Structure 1
Amino acid sequence: MEQGPAPAPAASTEAPPLSKRARKRAAREAQRLEEKRQKKEKNHAQARDREAAAAAAAAAADALLTDDQRAARDRKAQQARDERLRKRAAEDAEFEKKCASGCRIVIDCGFESLMTDREARSSSQQIMYCYGANRRAEAPARLLVVGLTGRQASALGNVSGVESWRGASVDARPLEDVFPDRSSLVYLTAESDTVLTEVDAATTYVIGGFVDRNRHKGATHAKALQLGVRTARLPIGDGDAIVLGKEASRVLAVNHVFELMVRAQSSDWAAAAECLPGRKKKPEE
């Protein structure tokens, strides 16, 4: 009896074993996460203890007061709260007025698929740093975050107060949908042949909300070209206004680019570059 061909062996569904280096890296990451969890739990426990002690002390002090004294204390506390709210409202109004006269800076978060979970969280943190820098700025900008979805949106959503950011807005739509007319856009990329000499309030500048540890070099520049958006690079390098250290990369974190742009609205580039971390700066001779 003629035999048919032997059946092919079933494909293995088991994942290939990790290398020794990968196992060590995974172990270090697991240890880091566990230490972070334990520290968080310890901090929460200490905070609960402080709150309980403060509540007990307040209750003991309250028991010694007369009704008139309690009423006077409550009125004073309410007046202080009202004054804080009034002062904060005035500060917010003044801040938004300043933002309206500045340039618009867009953070394009349309690169999430290229980032790891850790990189996506880092990107979200850098966006928060951008807002903090804008609040502190002498001449703040109008901040717009576009393409914010998925892990980045989730990370920012976990931060209390994001929904009430002043002088800033968030749009889940991609850059090309938010700006069908892209004639006023300039995408900031390190690969551009055009050097940005000054910050123009009438121009909308785009920063790639992208953290990738140099795995996808040129991704923002390629996107700008694909969308037909003009590009420019910051004046960083030999012969430019900003000179970095010899070992420093010209690729900066999102919040560093943002703060450079904001500061350059009210000062020269060299002064604006004071916001850069020490590891980026050229050593003094």
Structure 2
Amino acid sequence: MRKVSHHEPITVSGDPDGTGPMQMHDAGAVNHDAGDSQSMGDRGDAAAFKNIQNDRDSVPLDDLPPPSAVEPPLPTQYLDEDGNPLSKNQAKKLRKKLEWESKREDRKVIRKEKVTAKRERRRAARQAEAEPGTGDNNQAQNTQQPKKTPPQRAVQLPVTFLVDCDFDNLMRDNERISLASQITRCYSDNKNSLFRAHLAICSFGGKLRERFDGILGHYTGWRGVRFLDEDFVKAAEAATGWMTMHSSAEDGPTGQKGEEGGELKGVFSKYAAIPDSEKSRLKAEGEIVYLTSDSPHTLTELKPYSTYIIGGLVDKNREKGICYKRARAAAELCEDKGTTTNIKTAKLPIGEYLEMSSRKVLATNHVNEIMLKWLECGDWGEAFMQVIPKRKGGQLKDQGAGEKGGEVESDGTQVGHGRKVEAGGEVDGDEATAVAESGNIA
């Protein structure tokens, strides 16, 4: 018999008039009965769940829908061209690209605001200089300022630099972006050079052209550069025509020599005084040279009415010797066809002028800029020093340690004649040779 605690309430029930038997109810006993009812309910739920699970297991697998019908589809921007899901890294890159594209208009607005603010600052500075001053300021303004030397007129020379871009299928997306930047730099360097060359981009197509048409759409307004669909052989043949266009005083509409094709000035001035018969022979002897480090021939000078081809390839040096093989195959094909086109190969004379300490890669725009510098000074060593990045390290051979008493800086770099020599390019074996066929400089 269960004892009743004095803490538990006891209720008394009976007839209203008090005649019936009285009964005591224990609250604890009532709660105990409620607990038994609850446990019975739990056992009922477990049995019902087990029945549902048995019913589900009894469904044949063939009747179940495929996972693709149940899972939510991925967004279309996270699928490749074949409809397969992208990896996490690829999806992340694509997401960043879409974010960058979505903010294009905002960047344009910011650039315009910066340009406007810069113009306002210049205008305010000119007004401040024009206002008359007093005292010391007036005296300082009356002091004669040295006159700025007027910029020299850029001279067009009869020589062509041709960038061969027929390597689109060998490059990754990021490498095509690098090549597009290098082509842009080639255009900028040639436009700002004192002595300009004819610049042409051949085999211009594929995804490289898609990038120019999309991101770099302003290239259609570039002046002094040609974008051609033809390969480098046909483009080089066409270059012979535009280099000799209006190349004499009687041919030019304004009476100036080389208005279109180019003038024999600068490093080419030594050819200006030769007879007309010799000039005709010089035009006919114009060369077509494909620059590649694998060539057994070394380029000693640039010649007028000649075309120099630079391989437009950024491949981190994966495709070794591809430009040399491409040039030799084209030369053999021209010989088989019996054409007069003679394609030669050569390498820049880095090994003759620079001492290199490691194997480096020279970018396409660096090859272009080195030849532009040579057109200005006629010295390969000076051209190499002005163009090749400092981080590549190196020095001219006639400025080696111990020869001219060069000093050594704290970082161990040898300095000769009071200036640090820069170097770069690709070193082919024991001899440093220029790579015109590949190369993004990382």
The bucket for the TM-score relative to the shorter chain is 0.5 to 0.7
Aligned-pair distance for 1:175?
A: 1.6
Distance 1:168 1:177 in 2: 16
Unaligned runs of at least 5 residues, structure 1: 1-25, 56-90
1:234 maps to 348
2:365 maps to 255
Q: TM-score, normalised by structure 2?
A: 0.44
Distance 2:190 2:222 in 1: 11
- The 3-state SS of whatever aligns with 2:233 is helix
Distance 2:299 2:88 in 1: 45
Distance 1:265 1:247 in 2: 28
Distance 1:162 1:139 in 2: 22
Distance 1:277 1:149 in 2: 30
Would you say 1:210 and 2:313 are equivalent positions?
A: yes
Distance 1:122 1:46 in 2: 21
1:121 maps to 177
Unaligned runs of at least 5 residues, structure 2: 1-86, 117-150, 241-285, 332-342, 395-412, 416-442
Where is the helix percentage greater, Structure 1 or Structure 2? 1
2:164 maps to 108
Distance 1:142 1:47 in 2: 32
Aligned-pair distance for 1:102?
A: 4.3
Cα 1:196–1:41 change in 2 (3 A) is: same
Where is the strand percentage greater, Structure 1 or Structure 2? 2
Cα 1:135–1:217 change in 2 (3 A) is: same
Aligned-pair distance for 1:107?
A: 0.5
Aligned-pair distance for 1:48?
A: 4.1
1:88-237 paired onto structure 2 within 5 Å: 95=154, 98-99=155-156, 101-157=157-213, 158-179=215-236, 184-228=287-331, 229-237=343-351
Cα 1:118–1:271 change in 2 (3 A) is: same
Highest RCO, 1 vs 2 (Cα 8 Å, sep ≥ 6)? 1
Task: Quote the RMSD (CA, aligned, Å).
Answer: 3.1
Q: Which has the larger radius of gyration?
A: 2
Aligned-pair distance for 1:161?
A: 3.1
Could you tell me whether the CA contact under 8 Å between 1:104 and 1:142 is conserved in 2? Answer: yes
Could you tell me whether the CA contact under 8 Å between 1:248 and 1:279 is conserved in 2? Answer: no
The correspondence for 1:280, drawn from 375, 392, 409, is: 392
- Give the AA of the match of 1:136: N
Distance 1:218 1:51 in 2: 46
Could you tell me whether the CA contact under 8 Å between 2:236 and 2:307 is conserved in 1? Answer: no
Deviations 1:247-278 (A, max 9, x none): 241x3111011101111111211221211222
- The 3-state SS of whatever aligns with 2:196 is coil
Deviations 1:156-183 (A, max 9, x none): 2242432232221111011233346997
Cα 1:173–1:272 change in 2 (3 A) is: same
Distance 2:216 2:353 in 1: 36
